[in-house]
Amino acid sequence: MDTWFSTIAQFFTAGPGGNLIQAALILVGGFLIGRILANLVGRVPATHLDRHMGLLLRRVIFYGILLLAFTSALHQMGFKLGVLLGAAGIISVAIGFASQTSASNLISGLFLVWERPFSVGDTIRVGTTVGEVVSIDLLSVKLRTFDNLFVRLPNETLIKTEMTNLSRFPIRRLDLQIGVAYKEDIKRVRKVLDEVATANPLCLEEPKPQFLFLGFGDSALNLQFNVWAQRENFLEMRNSLQIEIKEAFDREGIEIPFPHRTLYAGSVTDPFPVQVVDRAGGDRDNP
């Protein structure tokens, strides 16, 4: 019995079992320390560390400590790290050829982090997708669209294609396309538009609203009215301003025309003859 016990004790203290246990302890300890330190970084208030940097720092700390613990554990178990790294080099070349897309995404991710065209929480547009950046990971960027869908964009795509950050600057311009009837006085229309913009508190006074006469359209005089708003108020301003413009036009009798055609009967002065027929009545003009 004693012999059996001493053999087990020797296995766990001086033998290979001891190294295994110590390596496991190092791994578990590294994992726990990594989690604790990453969580501590997560508690830093947003005033000191923005969400993007916080996320990045948490990941670097966690995976950095885990890597250290892993190599220490291997060392503890008697592996020679130099040989392992050499083998890893050969393996990585093989894996690199096999997984070009992943490697490309990985490198693109590093460029994205370095260039920082957007941060977590920003609203971006890539192609036809518009959404809020939820996370920036090694291989992809995750978005939450406004209809609450989860979109994963490979980092390579973001590096290659045009991306618009809608949250970069504090103010945004709204370009309103407006058509008014040919009979309207443009100066009066401009005055009404200016008054509506002035009365809307969300519409910035500076930069000034801009009035553009785009040209003579098929059915309307085409105008453009550019107004600025604070980024956070952009949607609210877009709604309220257009409703107010419609109300003001109705109040002032300014017509927003629908597409129409004018027919001439060979001469501009001769009107079309119009005959009103009572279809429901008894006197039908039957052939």
| Residue numbers at the binding site for other proteins (CB under 8 A) | 169-171, 198-207, 228-230, 233
What is the smallest separation between the CB atom of 155 and other proteins, expressed in angstroms? 26
Please state, in angstroms and rounded to a whole number, the distance separating the CA atoms of residues 178 and 220: 9
Pairing of β 221-230 and β 123-126 = unpaired
- Whole-number Å distance between alpha carbons of 2 and 21: 22
Shortest CB 168 distance to other proteins, Å: 8
Q: Please, which residue, 144 or 168, has the CB nearer to other proteins? A: 168
Q: How far is the CB of 239 from other proteins (least distance, A)?
A: 15
Name the residue nearer to other proteins (CB basis): 180 or 202. Answer: 202
List, in sequence order, the alpha helices (H) in the chain: 2-13, 16-42, 51-76, 81-98, 100-115, 155-160, 186-199, 234-252
Instruction: Work out how close the CB of 185 gets to other proteins at its nearest, in angstroms, rounded to a whole number.
Output: 25
Q: Which is nearer to other proteins, 160 or 208 (CB)?
A: 208
| Helix locations, 161-233, DSSP H | 186-199
Nearer to other proteins, 185 or 247 (CB): 247
Least CB distance to other proteins at residue 48 (A): 18
| Residue closer to other proteins, measured from CB, 188 or 208 | 208
d(CA 178, CA 217) in angstroms, rounded, equals: 11
Nearest Cα residue to 196 out of 238, 245, 235: 245
